Structure 1
């Protein structure tokens, strides 16, 4: 039975997952394996066993791994345990449970595509983790992106009754204890199944899918901050020209990300005093005027990333690939996903441009707030602007490409995409941008406190929510978190 409040259960079929499927399971939806998927998994297993029985050299099955890929496996049961324990080399903080659940369902769906060669029992074991809410403790450092081997090993350890699990209360208990409490039985792995549990880019892919909605919301929040900053600045100086956001400016690129951003800013400012005319500067700073173009670039890079995740969900990311149509087992590099990684890298660069504009607008608003600070009426710490400067510094660092690092791990493992690192770093960059925009919004709300100007239909409720955050008080952390929630409509 689905847990109260959880999304509708997902039935795994032989069709690839959608991003919406991954998001639903990450948020708590239960999972079932459909009859067709179970049959496909069984056929894939039969093909794998045929190759083994023929005496074929099958990587991870009749042959060992990595530099030992030409060495014969002597004893299967011991080898399966050795593979998992040898790959359990990750360290660090626990990966977000949402990402862990996303990774598990991605791997489960890859099994159903028929490329893995595992028994249906292995798929059932992953279903059990998801349905019973068992979230393995997965350390966040240890993947070079050519399959998230060490991270997947943390899940595999729990499947066999080892490793550790994070409880709903945030405690860490042994995998054996968590399985027993959930009524699950540790799985005894057979030929090839240890490698199949490890040999997937599911963490990079699941994390990238989860970044999609965050980026969509961030683009909307950035537009809201521009509208707020325009009104806040114009309440204290001759500025706020709406020409840079007009339909005329974007007539040549209708439908583009820049056009959508400009439309959103105009909609937020419907009914604002900015439409009344009056004294205006000839031109506002570029950090105001270029916002639609910059925000549009982020939105379009986010769309590219969604396309890349959709494509990656289609792929049987296995090495070797068990192909049920040709009944062959084929070595390959499907686990690399360079399109996905390059998409993540591009998003982070776009985020820096958004952050740079926000930082410059915050500096302009902070300068206008000097009289308020001098009179003790600002309502927010003046050095929030300094915090914003540090978060912008963080954002610039996080934009550095991670996928260009060269690496040779063995004579056969001489390339890496760093997919998990790219995904993890992208979430960190989103966090930094959220903070920057919240700090900008707080400065705008501070300047509008007690103002008699008529605000836009979209900005007025935002200002009211932000001013409630300011009036509630608390430290800088509470102010920034509260402003983030207000901007997101929470």
Structure 2
């Protein structure tokens, strides 16, 4: 499938498809729109009108005229190549390139169709620029976008799938592509967007959705593990009647998923002895898991909203022929949704860690007999992960500070998205430790497990018996959870 850009706003779903390797094409309407927008900029250039990034320089030099357009384009790109740190994962880079391309297709930047074609060619040849994760303050992801633009002009570097780094010019030549020669204003067009924040948020939203499924699976396994060793594992808190009147879709969906996973389980036996109430970490699982699911949906909706906006500054409007300064590159709503997402992750991590504590207590006889099969201090590892997860929930977007002259506010949206990615890693590790405890308690038992939990527990029991290190065991269990 090829995603056609420019016929209408792209969606987060399409962004994720491109992140996963789908190709792109520019619609005829987009080419026309970009050509008209370009003529608006050309008229301003010819008249000498004072336009940011066109006839006037950038940032602290906003009042200074541009003398040599070709030299200025190269200078802008090189001045903004300040990314440091670890390489941004290829799916996020591809999604960011797609977001920038979609916005270019809307005509708001005034760039030529040739610029969009060059960016599309990188995607279609799967040339992923080497972009490092530090440097953006959320007043557009300038440094990350500059790393992409560097490859377009034959500089920078491409990161191959095998981890090797190839100079940008060499990668373009091998693909039969010619370096782009940016014309007036086009260097700014390539960097002036929060494409990386949008991309990381889309990837995070999809990951959080998968993590809610993993959390539902984990609590289902834990219910059976606890129920096999004591009078507990009540399914009442997951019944449809409890969630029928809830306004949040996520909690009802979570409860339904747990019921499906436990279909046929011994827990449903009406003659089985039950405690009056299980711990809150079991009873409140649908509410907490569902909140993360709702947050994931809101993140993807927020990305859809930002993709429908023309974020360029100044905004070139083909219909009115105007060039207007603005702050649409500041995705404050998206940034606040990202703050909420990390809090939701910490809540789910907290409830899962409490379930681990319950299971760890039930495992004491197994540890005493040296038959648990997993390190007892994995429960401590989960507690350490939770401490880090709670620290990651602290506000990120309030870190804005004066930058350079007129640039005196920033959203730190990229930082918030990256913090969310790291927090999601911590949550997955906690959930992996939870299901390992559950499988340890169910190993060798004769109770009939659920249609969804039984096969998973069997795979986890195999891992427990495979003589793996703690790190290998947890990583393998995490893969079982999300596969």
Q: Which of the five TM-score ranges fits, normalised by the shorter chain?
A: over 0.9
**CA deviation vs aligned residue, 1:96-115 (integer Å, no higher than 9, x gap):** 01111111111111011110
Gaps of at least 5 residues in structure 2 are none
**CA deviation vs aligned residue, 1:309-364 (integer Å, no higher than 9, x gap):** 11011011100000001101100011101111111111110111100010011011
- After TM superposition, the structure 1 stretch with the greater mean CA deviation from structure 2, 184-193 or 267-276, is 267-276
Distance in 2 (alpha carbons) for counterparts of 1:54 and 1:326: 17
- After TM superposition, the structure 1 stretch with the greater mean CA deviation from structure 2, 273-282 or 13-22, is 273-282
Alignment partner of 2:292: what SS? helix
User: Which residue of 1 is the match for residue 367 of structure 2?
Assistant: 373
Does structure 2 retain, via aligned residues, the 8 Å contact 1:51–1:328?
A: no
Distance in 2 (alpha carbons) for counterparts of 1:73 and 1:409: 22
1:424 maps to 2:384: no
Distance in 2 (alpha carbons) for counterparts of 1:9 and 1:242: 45
Within a 5 Å distance, the mapping from 1:177-192 to structure 2 comes to 177-192=170-185
Distance in 2 (alpha carbons) for counterparts of 1:249 and 1:34: 49
Distance in 2 (alpha carbons) for counterparts of 1:45 and 1:131: 25
User: Which residue of 2 is the match for residue 262 of structure 1?
Assistant: 255
Quote how far apart the aligned CAs of 1:377 are.
1.2
Distance in 2 (alpha carbons) for counterparts of 1:248 and 1:61: 62
Within a 5 Å distance, the mapping from 1:137-286 to structure 2 comes to 137-253=130-246, 256-276=249-269, 277-286=271-280
Distance in 1 (alpha carbons) for counterparts of 2:3 and 2:450: 42
Distance in 2 (alpha carbons) for counterparts of 1:206 and 1:331: 25
- After TM superposition, the structure 1 stretch with the greater mean CA deviation from structure 2, 440-449 or 233-242, is 233-242
Distance in 1 (alpha carbons) for counterparts of 2:247 and 2:320: 48
Distance in 2 (alpha carbons) for counterparts of 1:14 and 1:54: 32
1:113 maps to 2:106: yes
Quote how far apart the aligned CAs of 1:14 are.
3.2
User: Which residue of 2 is the match for residue 307 of structure 1?
Assistant: 301
**CA deviation vs aligned residue, 1:349-382 (integer Å, no higher than 9, x gap):** 0111100010011011111111112222111111
Alignment partner of 1:241: what SS? coil
Quote how far apart the aligned CAs of 1:397 are.
1.3
User: Which residue of 1 is the match for residue 59 of structure 2?
Assistant: 66
User: Which residue of 1 is the match for residue 430 of structure 2?
Assistant: 436
Distance in 2 (alpha carbons) for counterparts of 1:218 and 1:130: 28
1:480 maps to 2:474: yes
1:47 maps to 2:29: no
TM-score, normalised via structure 1 length: 0.96
Distance in 2 (alpha carbons) for counterparts of 1:145 and 1:224: 36
**Change in CA separation of 1:359 and 1:71 when aligned onto 2, cut-off 3 Å:** same
User: Which residue of 2 is the match for residue 328 of structure 1?
Assistant: 322
- After TM superposition, the structure 1 stretch with the greater mean CA deviation from structure 2, 307-316 or 49-58, is 49-58
Quote how far apart the aligned CAs of 1:82 are.
0.7
**Change in CA separation of 1:144 and 1:62 when aligned onto 2, cut-off 3 Å:** same
Does structure 2 retain, via aligned residues, the 8 Å contact 1:14–1:40?
A: no
**CA deviation vs aligned residue, 1:261-299 (integer Å, no higher than 9, x gap):** 112112222221112233222211111111111111111
1:359 to 353, 360, 368: 353
Quote how far apart the aligned CAs of 1:254 are.
6.6
1:471 maps to 2:465: yes
Alignment partner of 1:480: what SS? helix
User: Which residue of 2 is the match for residue 5 of structure 1?
Assistant: none
**CA deviation vs aligned residue, 1:458-477 (integer Å, no higher than 9, x gap):** 21112112112222331112
TM-score, normalised via structure 2 length: 0.97
User: Which residue of 2 is the match for residue 398 of structure 1?
Assistant: 392
